């Protein structure tokens, strides 16, 4: 297999000020290519730490990807340390310098000395072009090992990877005739993890050396199947056999594969059935609408909705009956049904979803504790509502409400389709 | 200083299926306590890798925190490997067993053998109670070094840290009389990074050995000041001197400190001025409303809004003039002003915010490229609108629109206050 390690440089990662999304993005991309991501490591902006990690990670990797510390300020030490490590000198890359001049001219600026320094690169390195920023990627090759340094700005790191590195990994793996690791994911909803495990039952036989992992989240469970194979084709056919068993045993709960998400799948069903949807959100405050409109092209089925956080907004904007509100409270079956029904008629959509609850951390009562959420779903024929009691965490309760609402709509759409 | 390393065990992290939020959470908590987080490392569910990391990380750490691989399934190897590493045997912790029986009885289940195994712990370890799950944390002490293993489920990991580990770190640091690292953050908006750097100017003198980092995001720039000191008190007074200079040079752009966010600060100003706000969202689809309602207590000033994704919704729900729409298009100054004004009157709030744009990746034209966003802000006296051209990434454009809208409102509220 082709082994890749990922090294992140930066105090802000080490002290936990930002989460290392660069590492997970890079790891996912490398995994897609069939490579084996061995380890991620994050260290401070410190020369000795960096040298220690180079010494440790290069021997165990065919490719080491470094992110961070390539910018123009004084705490950006990566380029300097790499030059010393490989006994290089910094020399001006004329092509990159010309690119920088053009880059700044286009924006009406002259190139400052600080920015011109971005064209200084270690003499043994190769420049990897950065289509959206000023710091190029750097590629070193030593004893058949590759070391690549990338800027830490996520958008620039991604652009350099997509434009340059993906093809380097692919051709390396072909030349070396490496084994590949192939993964496929199955998206499950509407069943708890332990029940799903029972349904799938004994795995050793049908996995035949492959792996099966359960990854639960608020939006369902992701089943990940992995196999090692001589080629992608062989891997895919091995996974095909496993997939067959999974669908036989738990197919009713598998709603999608790989990058499918609840909201993308709901969108597909809505397009297929030429239906539209609108939302009435209280405790989620727009989060469900934001989730629908994440998907480019969602305007085909998502019309809009009302964010009705206050009782007045519920009454004035979505015509909730003030007596119903008084009698049953905002977090009630009666109100959520009115929300779902009224938003559907007001926005003239086929489906209306209503959400009202106590997100927390305060505002709960004995009868309606924090985490109580009512979700309503209305179509021309029927309006249903379900009550859920999630946990104490505000963010989680809002996320779970969104996931649960999408799951209710998905179920309804699947029933329509299957009937 | 007190050195802490964080080791994460799990294929799902290594292959990039999930982002390592455990590491950033733990790192932030340890940093708050004044400790020095040296490194984070993530490895696969692999015994040899784990042994190698124990050998590497224990010597460089006063405390090593391990997360993941403590669950009840066969790929959870952490406990077994630690027992072998410390030449321990697994013995039943009677207290934890009793706790498990109670835990399951309370939920109406009997304790299965698989779950009873959670009470098996290496004989030299100390059990750290888990108030919300079945896998306890484990504490080992060897040659004055501490090693702690925690389950990977974030909520359980956090509960064990808060209940047990925080106090261990504090008392260790007191006993050893360690230096502490103290940080303070300043939140800046409305100025680009390079201009901010120019404003602050030469730093070596006033930093006096401390550090200053710039962390830009879509919502502004976070300035992080760090100092090393004999005590928290000394650290805070050192930072006070630096803070004074920062406010002298760039105070007009600093809107908050530490965990303040644009939306929390906007909320504070709205409470102070007893004002309310509503939102009319097209391309952001509810994201601004979701941001407002992240804050517990936002019902005091956030009333609600309209998600008006389709033109019909803009016309029917928020009364945008259909001729204006036809003549200028949905992404225009005229429409965004109507959105801001109409949502304000319809929801009877003091401020109304309108957002309409082309989030992308498709739908752009020569005149209105992808990333074009109009943001409107209306109050009783005036309705203003500004045009922005962000980038090509849909998610980023939506996030930037939300950040920019909040910044426009913040400015307005500050001016009110200062005048």
DSSP string covering B139-166: EEEETTEEEEEE-SSHHHHHHHIIIIIH
Nearest to A286 among B42, B289, B310 (CB): B289
Residues 72-111 of A with CB under 8 A from B: 73, 75
Q: What does the mean pLDDT of chain B come to?
A: 93
Instruction: State residue B74's pLDDT score.
Output: 64
pLDDT at B302 over 90: yes
pLDDT band at residue B217 under the 50/70/90 scheme: confident
Query: A347 vs B214: CB contact, 8 Å cut-off?
Result: no
Quickly tell me which residue has 């004999």 as its tokens. Answer: B230
Nearest to A289 among B285, B391, B394 (CB): B285
Q: What is the pLDDT of residues A150-176, one digit of tens each?
A: 999 898 999 999 999 999 999 999 999
Dihedral angle sign, alpha carbons of residues A49, B208, B177, B36: negative
H or E element in which residue A297 lies: none
Q: What region does A258 belong to: left with phi over 0, alpha with psi -120 to 50, or beta?
A: left
pLDDT at A239 over 90: yes
Q: Which chain A residues touch B308 with a CB distance below 8 Å?
A: 304
Asked if A272 and A417 touch (Cβ cutoff 8 Å), the reply is: yes
Torsion angle (degrees, nearest 10) of CA A100, A102, A107, A109: 70
**Measured between CA atoms, how close is B160 to chain A, in angstroms?**
16
How many alpha carbons lie under 13 Å from residue B211 in its C-beta half-sphere?
A: 17
Q: Tell me what percent of chain A is helix, strand and coil, each rounded to the nearest 5.
A: 45, 25, 30
pLDDT band at residue B418 under the 50/70/90 scheme: low
Quickly tell me which residue has 């919300």 as its tokens. Answer: B132
Query: A303 vs B292: CB contact, 8 Å cut-off?
Result: no
What is the C-alpha to C-alpha distance for residues A335 and A348, in angstroms, rounded to an integer? Answer: 19
Nearest to A27 among B14, B306, B347 (CB): B14
Instruction: State residue B415's pLDDT score.
Output: 81
pLDDT at B73 over 90: no
Q: Does B288 touch chain A (CB under 8 A)?
A: yes
Q: Does A402 touch chain B (CB under 8 A)?
A: no
What is the C-alpha to C-alpha distance for residues A31 and A23, in angstroms, rounded to an integer? Answer: 12
Mean pLDDT of the B386-399 span = 91
**Measured between CA atoms, how close is B286 to chain A, in angstroms?**
4
pLDDT at A217 over 80: no
pLDDT band at residue B419 under the 50/70/90 scheme: low
pLDDT at A355 over 70: yes
Query: A288 vs B287: CB contact, 8 Å cut-off?
Result: no
Query: A183 vs B283: CB contact, 8 Å cut-off?
Result: no
What is the C-alpha to C-alpha distance for residues A106 and A134, in angstroms, rounded to an integer? Answer: 13
Q: Read off the tokens for B70.
A: 């403590």
Q: Which chain A residues touch B155 with a CB distance below 8 Å?
A: 391, 393
- The CA-based angle A258-A262-A268, given to 5 degrees, is 90
Q: Does B18 touch chain A (CB under 8 A)?
A: yes
Q: Does B249 touch chain A (CB under 8 A)?
A: no
DSSP for A122-173?
A: ETT-EEE--SSSSPPEEEEEETTEEEEEE-SSHHHHHHHIIIIIHHHHHHHH
- The CA-based angle B293-B295-B297, given to 5 degrees, is 95
Exposed (0-12), middle (13-18) or buried (19+): which is A174, by Cβ within 10 Å?
exposed
Q: Which of A161, A94, B391 is nearest to A102 (CA)?
A: A94
Asked if A41 and A5 touch (Cβ cutoff 8 Å), the reply is: yes
A-chain residue closest to B310, CA distance: A303
More confident residue, B382 or B69: B382
Who's near A161: CB < 8 A, 6+ residues apart? A26, A29, A150
Nearest to B213 among A11, A30, A360 (CB): A11
Q: What is the pLDDT of residues A117-157, one digit of tens each?
A: 899 999 999 999 999 888 999 999 999 999 999 999 898 99
**What angle in degrees, to the nearest 10, is found between the helix axes of A193-200 and A232-250?**
100
**Measured between CA atoms, how close is B24 to chain A, in angstroms?**
4
Q: Does B69 touch chain A (CB under 8 A)?
A: no
Mean pLDDT of the B347-374 span = 95
Dihedral angle sign, alpha carbons of residues A203, A205, A207, A208: positive
Instruction: State residue B394's pLDDT score.
Output: 92
Q: What is the pLDDT of residues A7-64, one digit of tens each?
A: 999 999 999 988 999 999 999 999 999 999 999 999 999 999 999 999 999 999 999 9
Q: Read off the tokens for B81.
A: 């490997």
Q: Does A158 touch chain B (CB under 8 A)?
A: no
Q: Which chain B residues touch A27 with a CB distance below 8 Å?
A: 13-16
Q: Out of A394-403, B89-98, B214-223, which region has the weakest mean confidence (pLDDT)?
A: B214-223
**Measured between CA atoms, how close is B162 to chain A, in angstroms?**
15
Q: What is the pLDDT of residues B77-120, one digit of tens each?
A: 899 999 999 999 999 999 999 999 998 888 787 888 878 889 99
A-chain residue closest to B295, CA distance: A394
B-chain residue closest to A36, CA distance: B15
What is the C-alpha to C-alpha distance for residues B181 and B205, in angstroms, rounded to an integer? Answer: 19
Instruction: State residue A161's pLDDT score.
Output: 98
Nearest to A27 among B15, B293, B312 (CB): B15
Dihedral angle sign, alpha carbons of residues B93, B99, B105, B107: negative
Instruction: Compute the count of residue pairs across chains A and B with CB atoms less than 8 Å apart.
Output: 264
Q: Which chain A residues touch B37 with a CB distance below 8 Å?
A: 14-16
Which of A109, A222, A290 is the best residue to mutate to test the B interface, defined by the most B CB atoms within 10 Å of its own CB? A290
Residues 350-379 of A with CB under 8 A from B: 359-362
Asked if A294 and A300 touch (Cβ cutoff 8 Å), the reply is: no
Mean pLDDT of the A203-224 span = 87
Nearest to B317 among A302, A316, A346 (CB): A346
Query: B279 vs A307: CB contact, 8 Å cut-off?
Result: yes
pLDDT band at residue B417 under the 50/70/90 scheme: low
- The CA-based angle B307-B313-B318, given to 5 degrees, is 75
Which of B76, B289, B316, B360 is the best residue to mutate to test the A interface, defined by the most A CB atoms within 10 Å of its own CB? B289
By percentage, how much of chain B surpasses pLDDT 90?
80
Q: Does A30 touch chain B (CB under 8 A)?
A: yes
pLDDT band at residue B197 under the 50/70/90 scheme: confident
pTM of the model: 0.85
Residue A379 φ/ψ, nearest 5 degrees: -130, -175
Quickly tell me which residue has 């490392």 as its tokens. Answer: B41
Query: B304 vs A305: CB contact, 8 Å cut-off?
Result: no
Nearest to B14 among A39, A308, A313 (CB): A39
Query: B20 vs A16: CB contact, 8 Å cut-off?
Result: no
Q: Does B26 touch chain A (CB under 8 A)?
A: yes
Instruction: State residue B190's pLDDT score.
Output: 82
Instruction: State residue B336's pLDDT score.
Output: 98
Q: What is the pLDDT of residues A67-76, one digit of tens each?
A: 998 877 666 8
H or E element in which residue A398 lies: helix A394-418
Q: Which chain B residues touch A44 with a CB distance below 8 Å?
A: 38-39
Asked if B96 and B37 touch (Cβ cutoff 8 Å), the reply is: no
pLDDT at A216 over 80: no
**What angle in degrees, to the nearest 10, is found between the helix axes of A311-318 and A333-346?**
40
Q: Does A192 touch chain B (CB under 8 A)?
A: no
H or E element in which residue A322 lies: helix A322-328
**What angle in degrees, to the nearest 10, is found between the helix axes of A78-85 and A47-57?**
50
Strand duo B211-217 + B220-229: pairing: antiparallel
Helix (H, G, I), strand (E, B) or coil at A87: coil
Q: Does B389 touch chain A (CB under 8 A)?
A: no
Instruction: State residue B354's pLDDT score.
Output: 98
Nearest to A286 among B19, B222, B287 (CB): B287
Q: Does A34 touch chain B (CB under 8 A)?
A: no
What is the C-alpha to C-alpha distance for residues A188 and A250, in angstroms, rounded to an integer? Answer: 9
Instruction: State residue B385's pLDDT score.
Output: 98
Residues 298-357 of B with CB under 8 A from A: 298-299, 302-310, 312-313, 316-317, 346-348
Distance of CA A80 to the CA centre of its chain: 33
Who's near A107: CB < 8 A, 6+ residues apart? none
Q: Does A415 touch chain B (CB under 8 A)?
A: no
Distance of CA A128 to the CA centre of its chain: 26
Strand duo A302-308 + B302-308: pairing: antiparallel
Q: Read off the tokens for A180.
A: 């590949």
Q: Does A292 touch chain B (CB under 8 A)?
A: yes
pLDDT at B27 over 90: yes
Q: What does the mean pLDDT of chain A come to?
A: 93
Instruction: State residue B218's pLDDT score.
Output: 75
Residue A77 φ/ψ, nearest 5 degrees: -105, -5
Instruction: State residue A330's pLDDT score.
Output: 96
A-chain residue closest to B30, CA distance: A15
Residue A183 φ/ψ, nearest 5 degrees: -120, 150
ipTM above 0.85, yes or no: no
C-alpha distances (whole Å) from B395 to each of A393, B47, B178, B399 are 25, 39, 44, 6
């Amino acid at each position: 297999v082709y082994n890749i390690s990922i090294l992140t440089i930066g105090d802000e990662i080490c002290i936990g000020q930002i989460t290392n999304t660069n590492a997970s993005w890079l790891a996912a991309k490398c995994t897609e290519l069939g490579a084996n991501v061995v380890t991620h490591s994050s260290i401070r902006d410190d020369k000795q730490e960096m040298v220690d990690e180079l010494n440790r990670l290069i021997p165990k990797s065919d490719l080491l990807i470094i992110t961070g510390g390539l910018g123009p300020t004084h705490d950006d030490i990566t380029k300097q340390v790499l030059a010393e490590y490989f006994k290089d000198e910094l020399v001006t890359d004329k092509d990159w310098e010309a690119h920088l001049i053009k880059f700044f001219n286009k924006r009406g600026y002259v190139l400052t000395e600080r920015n011109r320094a971005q064209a200084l690169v270690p003499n043994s390195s190769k420049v990897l072009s950065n289509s959206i920023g000023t710091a190029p990627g750097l590629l070193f090759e030593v004893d058949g090992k590759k070391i690549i340094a990338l800027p830490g700005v996520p958008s620039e790191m991604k652009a350099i990877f997509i434009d340059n590195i993906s093809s380097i990994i692919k051709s390396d793996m072909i030349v070396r005739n490496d084994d590949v690791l192939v993964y496929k994911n199955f998206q499950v909803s509407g069943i708890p993890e332990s029940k799903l495990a029972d349904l799938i039952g004994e795995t050793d036989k049908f996995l035949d050396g492959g792996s099966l992992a359960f990854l639960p989240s608020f939006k369902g469970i992701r089943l990940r199947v992995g196999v090692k194979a001589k080629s992608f084709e062989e891997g895919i056919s091995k996974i095909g056999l496993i997939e067959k068993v999974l669908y036989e045993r738990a197919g009713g709960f598998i709603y999608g594969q790989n990058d499918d998400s609840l909201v993308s799948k709901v969108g597909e069903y809505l397009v297929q059935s030429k239906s539209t949807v609108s939302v009435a959100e209280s405790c989620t405050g727009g989060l469900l609408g934001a989730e629908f409109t994440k998907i480019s092209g969602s305007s085909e089925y998502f019309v809009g909705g009302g964010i009705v956080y206050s009782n007045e907004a519920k009454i004035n904007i979505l015509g909730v009956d003030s007596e119903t509100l008084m009698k049953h409270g905002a977090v009630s079956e009666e109100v959520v049904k009115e929300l779902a029904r009224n938003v559907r008629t007001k926005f003239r959509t086929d489906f209306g979803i209503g959400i009202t609850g106590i997100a927390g951390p305060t505002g709960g009562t004995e009868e309606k504790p924090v985490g109580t959420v009512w979700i309503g779903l209305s179509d021309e024929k029927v309006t249903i509502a379900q009550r859920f009691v999630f946990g104490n965490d505000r963010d989680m309760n809002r996320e779970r409400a969104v996931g649960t609402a999408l799951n209710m709509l998905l179920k309804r759409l699947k029933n329509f389709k299957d009937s």
